[in-house]
Structure 1
């Protein structure tokens, strides 16, 4: 490969947002994107939401030629939905954006500048933050190799998955950036084959970053770009479902990329560890879901 992906700033940006009962934050996400000034189209692809929000948004923005909604008849998962939206996108640049991310114009322009002007750029992420402005460690981390996970788990000295210290305040090379917001040239996405559709939800961003790097492009964190990320509007309604697919994704990533997976005994231990961890989390997730329902009922009253 290995020419630099340097799209011209005047090219069209295709923004892809996947929804699945994402709630009212989706409305704000769409409004923020359509309030930005770069030349763009916004494709909202819906994974069989039952909340009626995508349809309401479609009516609200019916007069805006930059916006359209694609409806899937079933929940296909995150990566498969993105791939289907990209197949219908017209842009030379892509922005994959979570429905609970609130992107402002200055941040978008800066991300496009980094993606346009940096040699060998393959994918650019941002620092995603909660409402208090606290950065999510997932914005800038290393591949979750087994040896790194064990270093963190047992408190050993050495290289873990998370990168210690403050978030960078400038553009840096990264192994992994948050899948909540990813900007990349269309040619890069097409070259690596888009998202691996054998992931349903979670870890497909780790996979994409790895394959972009393997293909010879750079994964970058724009540390000077901070974006509000609401963290999981749809996942709160079905925590066990989401957790199951997260653990399933962890197992797939391990088998694809971790050298430790070549050892059958090690792989068996990892498999048991992943699914034991999932089972241990289920009771707390069910209790949390029940509390959320009760809180919702009291608010309605």
Structure 2
């Protein structure tokens, strides 16, 4: 059997309806692929849906929710494609996006990993990349000498050379949810590879569907935890101390401001959510790093 051009890896958790649309959009593409779905112990009908409707998909079923990083790495170890495409289940591929991505990676050998243009279902653009890292203003020495201008790519839709993923050891499994794409992007740049962006490859992204049943405060807790983990892995102790001090001061100021304005607002729901967020930030950035 000929080597596939692209190994597509989708980590799924309770998104059967969206996963079906995602897989259907992949099968409309005219590129040689192999498709992995890693199911993180979904409690809906995801597994049955894949088995019934997409028999050629390589299905990996976990007994527990292993997290985003570990689940992706399970499929990476089995992938045979020249490129590995990490794709969220709450996405749909537009047009001939896979062919566009393949041509881009073939034409730019210095690019180790590239992101696509994410769009909302109404076709309005989403942010697909960032040019700065969290806390970067305090981390100039920690981030000196990195190639390219793009800092990191959002993990909903990223394609990478298989040898690059193997070179950096895949996703860091210390991350469970959030921060994995940030960490992977920086690891790749530290190995001398640039990051790329493919605006012609449009991917519809419903955004945050695996967390649709989580409370906002639960999501923020995971994000703060991942952010601190990123700092520990990539920044010096001196840099981290500066970042923590800045975040503590910001959280205190936001808390004071919101509390002052709260009595004058008719609908306080959103303000109270923000207040809870900044109290949580204060807890994380003033507490122990571990």
**Alpha carbons 1:21, 1:51 under 8 Å: kept:** yes
**Alpha carbons 1:126, 1:178 under 8 Å: kept:** no
1:18, CA displacement in angstroms?
Answer: 0.3
**Alpha carbons 2:12, 2:37 under 8 Å: kept:** yes
SS of alignment partner, residue 220 of structure 1: strand
Instruction: State the partner residue of 1:194.
Output: 170
**Alpha carbons 1:43, 1:85 under 8 Å: kept:** yes
**Alpha carbons 1:128, 1:136 under 8 Å: kept:** yes
**Alpha carbons 2:16, 2:49 under 8 Å: kept:** no
1:262 pairs, out of 238, 248, 252, with 238
Per-residue CA shift, 1:133-163, capped at 9, x if unaligned?
22222x12123232559xxxxxxxxxxxxxx
Instruction: State the partner residue of 2:72.
Output: 82
Q: Which moved more, 1:265-274 or 1:90-99?
A: 265-274
Cα distance in 2, alignment partners of residues 128 and 91 from structure 1: 23
Runs of at least 5 residues in structure 2 that lack an aligned partner in the other structure: 139-147, 259-269, 275-290
Q: Which moved more, 1:87-96 or 1:196-205?
A: 87-96
TM-score by length of 1: 0.74
Residue 57 in 1 paired to residue 50 in 2?
A: yes
**Alpha carbons 1:247, 1:275 under 8 Å: kept:** no
CA separation of 1:222/1:237 partners in 2, compared to 1, >3 Å: closer, same or farther? same
Per-residue CA shift, 1:218-267, capped at 9, x if unaligned?
100112222110002121112344332221111111222345x4256435
Cα distance in 2, alignment partners of residues 44 and 276 from structure 1: 43
SS of alignment partner, residue 237 of structure 1: coil
SS of alignment partner, residue 88 of structure 1: coil
Residue 208 in 1 paired to residue 184 in 2?
A: yes
Residue 177 in 1 paired to residue 167 in 2?
A: no
Residue 34 in 1 paired to residue 27 in 2?
A: yes
Cα distance in 2, alignment partners of residues 216 and 252 from structure 1: 23
1:282, CA displacement in angstroms?
Answer: 11
CA separation of 1:114/1:203 partners in 2, compared to 1, >3 Å: closer, same or farther? same
Instruction: State the partner residue of 1:44.
Output: 37
Instruction: State the partner residue of 1:145.
Output: 134
SS of alignment partner, residue 245 of structure 2: helix
CA separation of 1:267/1:141 partners in 2, compared to 1, >3 Å: closer, same or farther? closer
Structure 1 runs (4+) greater than 6 angstroms displaced: 273-277, 279-283
**Alpha carbons 1:114, 1:222 under 8 Å: kept:** yes
CA separation of 1:46/1:173 partners in 2, compared to 1, >3 Å: closer, same or farther? same
Instruction: State the partner residue of 2:85.
Output: 95
1:270, CA displacement in angstroms?
Answer: 6.0
1:105, CA displacement in angstroms?
Answer: 4.8
TM-score by length of 2: 0.77
Cα distance in 2, alignment partners of residues 273 and 108 from structure 1: 45
Runs of at least 5 residues in structure 1 that lack an aligned partner in the other structure: 1-8, 150-171, 286-301
Instruction: State the partner residue of 1:154.
Output: none
Instruction: State the partner residue of 2:280.
Output: none
Cα distance in 2, alignment partners of residues 194 and 264 from structure 1: 25
Residue 248 in 1 paired to residue 225 in 2?
A: yes
RMSD (CA atoms):
3.0
Cα distance in 1, alignment partners of residues 5 and 180 from structure 2: 25
Residue 123 in 1 paired to residue 100 in 2?
A: no
